[in-house]
Amino acid sequence: MRADRTSEASGKPRKRSRRDEILEIAVGLFATRGYHGVSMDDIGKEAGVTGPALYHHFAGKDAMLVAALNPVSEGLLSGGRERAEAHKDDPRAALEALVDFHVEFALANPAVIALHLHELDRLPEEPRREIRRLQRRYVEEWVGVLTALRSGLSDGEARVLAHAVFGLMNSTPFLGGEVDRQRRAALLREATLSALLA
């Protein structure tokens, strides 16, 4: 999620730090040029500091990648749990809340999604495994809701559907600007619910 995201606990926007700003610049560069196409000096130039000054905030590009991707997975898991729990007696409402949550995330964070799609495997093993673990737990939130809503659906089938609609919702890095954001959200929401409820 973006560095200026709302605090989960307070509901108030979290003040952006210089580290947050640098990270957002790095994410944008990684997403457009690729991880290996960007140097610390490139990031420093865009951020208005020297490359070496970046090391006051990050140990290197790997650390930036971890800082960009790990909080996203944590935020998706906590947000997914919160929405599923808020509608635990109404799986249809829970599913709609999950879809709304993920569509909003995807529209707000296309660069992070692109980074995840193309660069996750460049992470060191331990942070990569932790991100995958968080992602699996997020998927299970969807599986629980889907199997509660559709009694004939097995857990495995629900996982297939969840991964399929993640691909649909996470298409935002590839969407042009010819359709306004509100309409894009409505189209993604409608398509996702149609796929899951067919």
Please state which of the ranges 11-20, 34-43, 52-61 shows the lowest mean pLDDT: 11-20
Q: List, for residues 130-186, the tens digit of each pLDDT value.
A: 999 999 999 999 999 999 999 999 999 999 999 999 999 999 998 877 899 999 999
Q: Burial level of 147, CB count in 10 A (0-12/13-18/19+)?
A: middle
Q: How far apart are CA 135 and CA 120, in angstroms?
A: 12
Give me the pLDDT at residue 11, please: 43
Q: Is the pLDDT of residue 4 over 60?
A: no
Give me the pLDDT at residue 13, please: 53
Domain boundaries, the chain: 60-197
Residue that wins the pLDDT comparison between 190 and 60: 190
In the structure, what pLDDT confidence band is assigned to residue 14 with cuts at 50, 70 and 90? low
Q: List, for residues 81-97, the tens digit of each pLDDT value.
A: 999 999 999 999 999 99
Give me the pLDDT at residue 55, please: 86
Give me the pLDDT at residue 84, please: 97
Tell me what the mean pLDDT of segment 32-61 comes to.
Answer: 86
Output the CA–CA distances (angstroms, integers) from residue 49 to 2, 45, 65, 120, 135, in the order listed. 21, 6, 19, 26, 34
Q: Is the pLDDT of residue 10 over 80?
A: no
Place of tokens 């992470």: 123
In the chain, count of helices (H) and strands (E)? 8, 0
CATH superfamily entry for domain 60-197: Tetracycline Repressor, domain 2 (1.10.357.10)
pTM, whole model, 2 decimals? Answer: 0.82
